Amino acid sequence: MRGKDVSTMLRRAGSSLIGKRARSSLPIAEVAEPQLPPFDHTPAPYEGPPKEEVYALRKKFLSPALFHHFKDPIMITEGKMQYLFDERGRRYLDAFAGIVTVSVGHCHPKVVSAVQQQSALLQHTTTIYLNNQITEYAKELTDRLPGNLKVAYFVNSGSEANDMALMMARLYSGNYDVLALRNCYHGMSEGTMGVTAHSTWKFNVPQGFGIRHVLNPNPYTGNFGNDGAKYAEDVRDVISTCTPGGVAGFIAETIQGVGGSVPLADGYLPAVYDMVREAGGLCIADEVQTGFGRTGTNYWGFQNQAVVPDIVTMAKGIGNGLPLAAVVTTPEVAQVLAQRLHFNTYGGNPVCCAGGRAVLRVVDEDGIQANAAKVGNLLLERLHALKEKHDVIGDVRGQGLMLGVEMVKDRASKQPATAETAQVMERLRELGVLIGKGGLRGNVFRIKPPMCLTTADAEFLTEAFDLALSEL
């Protein structure tokens, strides 16, 4: 139904009406669109080629594999904290953070300053020389990890980090088989493509050798609900029937990102980590999206399940948009790479390391983790209220500022509402919200904004979401 037929809608003024059921006796002729909160920033005038020319050049000179997010592509020319600006100067709330990459805010002044200062001194050197940035950064980063996770190897992307983690697990254990979850995403290199469990991200090339995909412990659609121990029994069965009895390792996101913001069932990781270690393998935590306080309750996602992995991979938010990633492990496991020469030309670049160090400082000094918890809890409250109002919402889930809203045609069958999801996403764009979607069927909204999001932004986001849902 159209917005003018909705009997109760949200307004920024007055008390919030989110979650209150529509009252048909109070028809509203016109529904005012929610407005972005005030923001003291004027974007610089854009002086480049027009959007149409940029789009034509992209189609001619860039790979046809590249896709754009909306039917009418948006051209982004500037970013500031939680907002993005197009070539006309229109402001958008970035609810997807450059695919969960901008952690502390677009062009955060402290990160920009650190990068500029280092760029003026030394833009590049490699690990064949000493440099203070990489060594100080390694200490500051590993100081934030529990246990004996004290050795870092810097690379440039999450795919590289996960590739290296898998190789290290195989070298250290002497085993080859690796366990991963169905519905997972760990990268697009040839190696990590084989680990990833989505047909949409797999090319028809040799990949996946030695990878065993176990049941996904999805509390919403899984057969065992939120009982992690029952899902873990599948891991025991796969080890005993599909491997020689020993495994190299187990890799998992604590909240699956591309798969649709799916948290792992309670108690799953502790049970699986025990099984994997009994089989001689290492436990790998993919913190590419859940790290650096994004879940609010803990600095690292794996801490939400009370486990300590043997290897941690991280990227995206680690550099707030800089090409930076890392593999952190114990001194014993790290030693396996010393068997041969191993080198990464750009890993540990001084400019990226300076930016990464600034991100750590901002997380601490700006209270980023606490803000993710506070604003994330507000968003969850508002989204659960919207679920009560709109039957098309099947599930609301996640922690902190890593949230998911699963859209269904009906709640009994949980049939994916893929077309409806795309329609709402386009309408949100018109209202000034840039949001992500994921899941194998493309029916899950991924709400993962820069972690400087404010409560006013959260109110605006949910009001816009309510309007877009009401117009379905």
CA–CA gap between residue 285 and residue 298 (Å, rounded): 14
CA–CA gap between residue 39 and residue 368 (Å, rounded): 19
The per-residue pLDDT for range 183-230, each reduced to its tens digit, is 999 999 989 999 999 999 999 999 999 999 999 999 999 999 999 999
With respect to CATH, is domain 36-100+368-470 assigned 3.20.20.70?
A: no
Q: Nearest-CA neighbor of 302 among 350, 269, 343, 346?
A: 269
CA–CA gap between residue 425 and residue 453 (Å, rounded): 19
Contact call for residues 3 and 32 (beta carbons, < 8 A): no
CA–CA gap between residue 443 and residue 171 (Å, rounded): 39
Contact call for residues 91 and 39 (beta carbons, < 8 A): yes
Task: Give me the pLDDT at residue 31, please.
Answer: 77
Judging by DSSP bridges, how do beta strands 393-399 and 402-407 pair with one another? Answer: antiparallel
Contact call for residues 408 and 388 (beta carbons, < 8 A): no
Spans of all domains in the chain: 36-100+368-470, 109-365
Can you tell me whether residue 22 is helix, strand or coil?
coil
CA–CA gap between residue 263 and residue 219 (Å, rounded): 7
Q: How many CA atoms lie within 13 A of 74 on its CB side?
A: 21
The per-residue pLDDT for range 347-375, each reduced to its tens digit, is 999 999 999 999 999 999 999 999 999 99
**Structure tokens given for 11:** 């307004």
Judging by DSSP bridges, how do beta strands 311-314 and 325-329 pair with one another? Answer: antiparallel
Q: What is the CATH number of domain 109-365?
A: 3.40.640.10
Calculate the alpha carbon distances from 228 to 5, 238, 439 in Å: 44, 16, 21
Rg (CA), the chain: 23
**Structure tokens given for 263:** 């948290």
Residue 256 has phi, psi (to 5 degrees) of -70, 125
Q: pTM for the full model?
A: 0.92
Contact call for residues 82 and 454 (beta carbons, < 8 A): yes
Contact call for residues 184 and 256 (beta carbons, < 8 A): yes
CA–CA gap between residue 330 and residue 316 (Å, rounded): 22
CA–CA gap between residue 426 and residue 408 (Å, rounded): 17
Contact call for residues 235 and 166 (beta carbons, < 8 A): no
pLDDT along the chain (472 residues), means of 10: 34 37 41 94 97 96 92 96 98 98 98 98 96 98 98 98 98 98 96 96 94 98 97 98 98 97 98 98 98 98 98 98 98 97 94 98 98 98 98 98 98 97 98 97 98 98 98 93
CA–CA gap between residue 185 and residue 191 (Å, rounded): 12
CA–CA gap between residue 273 and residue 156 (Å, rounded): 28
| Tokens 């948006």 found at | 74
Contact call for residues 264 and 255 (beta carbons, < 8 A): yes
